[in-house]
Amino acid sequence: MSAPVKIVFLGGLGEIGRNCFCLEVDDRILVVDCGIMFPEADMPGVDLVLPDFTYLRENADRVEAAFLTHAHEDHAGGLAFLLRDVPMPIYGSLLSLGLARSRIEEAGMLGHTELIPVHDGERRWIGPFDCEFIPVTHSVPSAFATAYHTPAGTILHSGDFKLDPTPVDGRKTDLALMGDIAKRTGGVRMLLSDSTNACRPGFTPSESTVGETLRDVFRDHPQQRFIVASFASHLHRVRQVADAAVREGRRVAFLGRSMLSNVSLGREMGILDIPSDRVIDIEDVPRYSPGEVCIICTGSQGEPMSALSLMAAHEHKHVKISADDVVVISAHAIPGNETNVSRIIDSLHRAGAEVLHGGSSPVHVSGHAAQEELKMLINVVQPEWFVPVHGEYTHMVHHARLAESVGVAPDHVIVCEDGDALTLELTPDGRCAVEAERRAVPAGFLYVDGIVGDVGQGVLRDRRNLAEEGLVVVIVTVDTVTGEVVTGPEIVTRGWVYAPEAEELLEDAKAAVLASLREAVDEGATDFETLRRHARRSLGRFINERTRRRPAIVPVVMEV
């Protein structure tokens, strides 16, 4: 008997980001998406968070390939890291692969993979996986939902999607194909669907509405320069900004490394069609009057080193933001980035600019389906089983209720979390039996800082403690023969008290340590470990009594 069909969730179920699951057929593994998550405020110094790759590393010989539903960082950004340990080919739309390629190339991992494009409506085998790629609309062009025709029946994964009736490129979510698949296969056994906006009632507005808003905004400010920040991968947004600018007779300059590379990819692939004579280099912007220019840049997440931040701080070489500028932030803050975004909006206002952002003006719409669209998908697919994916726990629970409200049997709706595994088997009467195993595989957060792999919980705990309480180092030199304190104790502190203003306190602290060391020596202790312990304890007690704080204490005992 062949191995049962399995789905193992490694990330994205319980948080926004690091989307990743394994589909298993005939004991082979297809990795569907492999994303990163942006760090939260309580993860100091962490650059990004990855799924736990333990399961994939331990089963590397069973990994057939990866499939990218689309190229957003929360679906594709982790591949460069995974490829280091698990080389494999990556399938996806031509654009998804083009967008994902640069990160993989930067990591030096192109040699560990082969990028294989698949096309709208195509059905093909990837090893034992019979896959069918369905166009969906989202905030990046060329995204896919996918039908996996498995021995346990058809599993449909929505990917990130919305039902945009008037997408910028005319490529709609192919509901008809999904309905056809449901009919053709005798019913979809399981639907995995995007929960990001499951708490939002109604429909998500069409991407084209942003174009209309932008046209009005441009018309209302004919004398001012426009600076529009958006995601570099949102090429339809970039296209609408550029179209509106060009229509109002402006020239367009692009700024930001990923913006420049994505725009050139988009122009190459025919997704962006901007007349070359309307595009100028950023260093030429000062030669035009404000009303003649529109700059399209990155930095919509308030990244402190982005071009937008530098422009606002008057630290950019070519562009300084002033009252002549209208800044449009055509994006929403990804969880984790909210503080940075409101900070940049503040500094833009301080620089005198007029600022339009998602919170103040319809210059942004979401790329994810709201409740009515989610229900519509379920109604079209009519799955036997429903599993909400991509979202915080609250989003998934709301999505589960939506599914029940349109008729999915409550005992056929499963809310899973990272690390859970589902086993699917066809029963003799043609139904699908599903077994859920909770916490079947490790699925914790993998913290990445710089080029070091996992920072780990211990390091994060230390960092949080250091951030909240500070550090005190006490240095003392001891004669090992007599046990006499020769020099010190010296106290160096960071983040406990401001040393120049706390001389008396520090003197008292030194005295406390010295007294405790003398006492230890009198009792016959000469070994470092004992002396170190005495120094740490006496200092800790003193600091707690005098300041009610608990900084990290590092005793350094040296010998002469």
Binding mask 202-231 for Zn ion (x = CB under 5 A): ------------------------------
The residue among 476, 449, 486 whose CA lies nearest residue 531 is 476
Of 163 and 476, nearer to Zn ion (C-beta) is 163
| Residue 57, both tokens | 């590393």
Binding mask 50-79 for Zn ion (x = CB under 5 A): ----------------------x-x-----
Distance from C-alpha of 448 to C-alpha of 426, rounded to nearest angstrom: 41
Q: What is the largest CA-CA distance in the chain?
A: 90
Distance from C-alpha of 424 to C-alpha of 434, rounded to nearest angstrom: 5
- In whole angstroms, the minimum distance from the beta carbon of 45 to Zn ion comes to 25
Of 18 and 357, nearer to Zn ion (C-beta) is 18
Of 72 and 162, nearer to Zn ion (C-beta) is 72
The residue among 344, 390, 395 whose CA lies nearest residue 37 is 390
DSSP 297-363: ES-TT--TTSHHHHHHTT--SS----TTEEEEE-S-PPTT-HHHHHHHHHHHHHTT-EEEETTTSSS
284 tagged catalytic: no
Of 64 and 194, nearer to Zn ion (C-beta) is 194
- In whole angstroms, the minimum distance from the beta carbon of 113 to Zn ion comes to 21
- In whole angstroms, the minimum distance from the beta carbon of 31 to Zn ion comes to 16
DSSP 412-468: GB----TT-EEEEEE-TTS-EEEEEETT-S----EEEETTEEE-HHHHHHHHHHHHH
- In whole angstroms, the minimum distance from the beta carbon of 74 to Zn ion comes to 5
Given the residues 75, 332, 368, 399, the one annotated as active site? 368
Of 256 and 391, nearer to Zn ion (C-beta) is 391
Q: Which residue(s) pair with 43 in the sheet?
A: none
Element (H, E) at 531: helix 528-547
Distance from C-alpha of 177 to C-alpha of 309, rounded to nearest angstrom: 44
- What secondary structure letter does DSSP report for 258? H
β pairing state of 188-194 and 153-157: parallel
| Total of chain residues touching Zn ion, rule CB under 5 A | 3
Of 72 and 112, nearer to Zn ion (C-beta) is 72
- In whole angstroms, the minimum distance from the beta carbon of 162 to Zn ion comes to 10
Q: Under a CB-based contact definition with an 8 Å cutoff, are residues 447 and 456 in contact?
A: yes
368 tagged catalytic: yes
| Residue 468, both tokens | 């909240």
β pairing state of 421-426 and 5-11: antiparallel
Of 74 and 248, nearer to Zn ion (C-beta) is 74
- In whole angstroms, the minimum distance from the beta carbon of 97 to Zn ion comes to 15
Of 96 and 493, nearer to Zn ion (C-beta) is 96
Binding mask 272-301 for Zn ion (x = CB under 5 A): ------------------------------
**Region 359-418 residues binding Zn ion, contact defined as CB under 5 A:** none
Given the residues 194, 243, 325, 420, the one annotated as active site? 194
Distance from C-alpha of 15 to C-alpha of 335, rounded to nearest angstrom: 9
Distance from C-alpha of 341 to C-alpha of 306, rounded to nearest angstrom: 12
- In whole angstroms, the minimum distance from the beta carbon of 289 to Zn ion comes to 38
Q: Under a CB-based contact definition with an 8 Å cutoff, are residues 228 and 253 in contact?
A: no
Distance from C-alpha of 127 to C-alpha of 14, rounded to nearest angstrom: 30
**Region 110-169 residues binding Zn ion, contact defined as CB under 5 A:** 160
Tell me, what amino acid is at 239?
A: R
Element (H, E) at 98: helix 94-106
- In whole angstroms, the minimum distance from the beta carbon of 137 to Zn ion comes to 11
* Contact footprint for Zn ion (CB under 5 A): 72, 74, 160
Catalytic amino acids? 194, 368
